[in-house]
A and B are shown apart, each in its own frame.
Chain A
Amino acid sequence: MNGRERLLAFLTGDSVDSLPLMPITMMYAADFAGVKYGQYVTDFRALVESQIAIADAFDFDFVSCISDPAREAADCGARVAMFEDQPPAIVETDALLASKSTLSTLTIPDPRTATRMGDRVRAAALFRERVGDRKLIEGWIEGPCAEAADLRGINTLMMDFFDDPAFVRELFEFTLELGVQFARAQVEAGADLIGVGDAAASLVGPEIYREFVWPHEKRLVDELHAMGTRVRLHICGNTTSILEPMGQLGCDIVDLDFMVPMDKARAAMGPDQILLGNIDPVRILRGAAPETVRAAIAQCHQQTRPRYIVGAGCEVPRATPEANLRVLTDYARSTMP
């Protein structure tokens, strides 16, 4: 089986020849290909070639458009700091929606022509041209809560939940539609699956998650399925307190960060939910010996099998020893679900 065949079969519950392998690489992929990260996030050709290089070298089952959380916000007009060799960062002290009244003036950029969103759409199209059906192609969008934080400022949004719930709902409606349109453009360009990064959701507890975040994430997941694509949800941070509702979103893959005990996730989400992750990227994957990496990934697998995909808790960090990343490949390729 090639990577795309393996993943598509696994997602639909068919038998596969080994565990699927989907670690997130961004800066690691750029470094591997000798590309500065500033170029990786602004030139889709650099991103695509770096992703193909890392995916081929480590036999990943997929390639991904993921790069940084600022694409949508930048095209909406947010101030974003660009760096030569690290990810762009949204300048929160000058947040686009520092004034709530600005929301009513915002329009959703055309994802095909907007500068940074369009660059990602072109990446999806070039991936299709370059990898064909060999590997699964992953598009990427910000989730409704994360994008709201990008536009409003994360500190302010956290207090808005109490200070102005109506505004939060209005903002989430905007970010939901922004995500849907961006995803649709990537699917039309060639993406097989859409990754949804909703990092800010890990900062809220179960009550706020259920009341504000979950309904919008659920609508997003349903819209993505309605356009015929598949969904990988990744919420950076500790989501242990919201595992149960996350499992009710209907995502094809729930990708968990390292703080979440995998056995708890399995218990909370039931036996059918595909789980991905979640070894500690810094302490274990980058910092430990290969045998420790192997033991950690084997434990994740044991706690969640058989509906399990090999990956780290978050991005494979820069300067991770190649031998350690190779452990993930060897484990996946030598093990059945």
Chain B
Amino acid sequence: MPDLQELGEAIKRGDRDQSAMLTNAAIAAKVPAQEILDVMVAAMDVVGQRFQKNEIFVPEMLIAARAMKESLALLEPLLVDAGITPIAKAVIGTVEGDLHDIGKNLVAMMWKGANFDVIDLGTNVSPQKFVDAVRDNNAQLVGLSALLTTTMPAIKATVAALKAAGLDTAKVVIGGAPVTQEYADEVGADGYAPDAASAVNVARALL
């Protein structure tokens, strides 16, 4: 019987080779896909908590997320076969005029780690592109990121565009260095996340 606890530990320390090997071993031993997935998601929750407590930092978080992503890819066919679907579909991007992406990438990885289906639109994403992606994918969650005070107004424009398109059932979470809860309230966003780990908790609470 493969050691699922060790799989979780491998993800937490970002050991992609070990986590892939243990995932394959678990699959070969016919461990139910849901059990394997639960271990992975729990591991990423711990990674997020450690990040929030400043016990680990961006490099450690990135390699953990990479290990998770690669193991999840191995598990994907079994999840499909077992009819296990992501808990939500999310669209994420950095808003128009802004090319910064590390914060957005961290949130995307943590959302994937929490078993959300994440469609990452990249950087410099126009309000219309967000609208189209949310509509086309029937997304329940939207993540908007901005690093600059000069690009923050594009968050407001994107939230307004989503509402104008009748997509206000999708919950919008915003974040980025200059973004505040007050700004989220002002522009009508559903949630504000000060960091990537919080973004998981905020999204779970909204869904």
Contacts and interface: CB of A to CB of B under 8 A. Distances in A.
Contact of A86 (B59, B60, B102, B148): B148
Interface string A123-162: 0000000000000000000000000000000110011011
A286 B150 CA distance: 13
Nearest to A205: B57
Interface in A197-245: 203-205, 208, 240-241
Interface stretch (B20-28, B32-40, B93-101): B93-101
Interface string A246-270: 0000000000000000000000000
Contacts of A282: 149, 178, 180
A93 B120 CA distance: 14
A87 B59 contact: no
A317 interface: yes
B63 interface: yes
Contacts of B62: 155, 158-159
Interface string A79-92: 00101011101111
A138 to B, nearest CB: 22
A159 B149 contact: no
Contacts of B101: 92, 155
Interface string B144-185: 000011110000000000000000000000000010101000
Contact of A158 (B59, B122, B151): B59
B21 to A, nearest CB: 18
A203 B54 contact: no
Nearest to A240: B54
A281 B152 CA distance: 14
Nearest to B55: A205
Nearest to B98: A89
Interface residues of B, number: 26
Interface residues of A, number: 31
A209 to B, nearest CB: 9
B206 interface: no
B84 interface: no
Contacts of A241: 54, 57
> Of residues B54, B58, B63, B178, which shows the largest number of chain A Cβ atoms within 10 Å of its Cβ?
B58
Contacts of B56: 205
A45 interface: no
A36 interface: no
Given A203-B59, A317-B149, A154 B97 contact: no
Contacts of A159: 59, 62-63, 66
A337 interface: no
A287 interface: yes
Contacts, number: 67
Contacts of A317: 149, 178
B105 interface: yes
A203 B149 contact: no
B93 to A, nearest CB: 13
Contacts of A281: 178
A91 B94 CA distance: 13
Contact of B57 (A27, A86, A204, A287): A204
Contacts of A155: 62, 101-102, 105
Contacts of B122: 93
B14 interface: yes
> Of residues B98, B149, B182, which shows the largest number of chain A Cβ atoms within 10 Å of its Cβ?
B149
A95 to B, nearest CB: 11
B14 A158 contact: no
A305 interface: no
* 9 cross-chain pairs, A with B, having the tightest CB-CB distances, nearest first: A205-B57, A203-B58, A89-B99, A158-B59, A317-B149, A86-B150, A282-B178, A161-B59, A158-B62
Interface of B: 14, 54, 56-60, 62-63, 66, 97-102, 105, 122-123, 148-151, 178, 180, 182
28 contacts: A27-B150, A83-B97, A85-B150, A87-B148, A89-B100, A90-B99, A92-B99, A93-B122, A93-B123, A155-B102, A158-B58, A158-B59, A159-B66, A161-B59, A162-B59, A203-B58, A203-B102, A205-B60, A208-B57, A240-B54, A241-B54, A241-B57, A282-B178, A286-B149, A287-B180, A318-B149, A318-B150, A319-B149
Interface of A: 27, 81, 83, 85-87, 89-93, 154-155, 158-159, 161-162, 203-205, 208, 240-241, 281-283, 286-287, 317-319
Given A158-B62, A318-B149, 10 more contacts: A83-B97, A89-B98, A90-B99, A92-B99, A93-B123, A158-B59, A159-B62, A162-B14, A205-B54, A240-B54
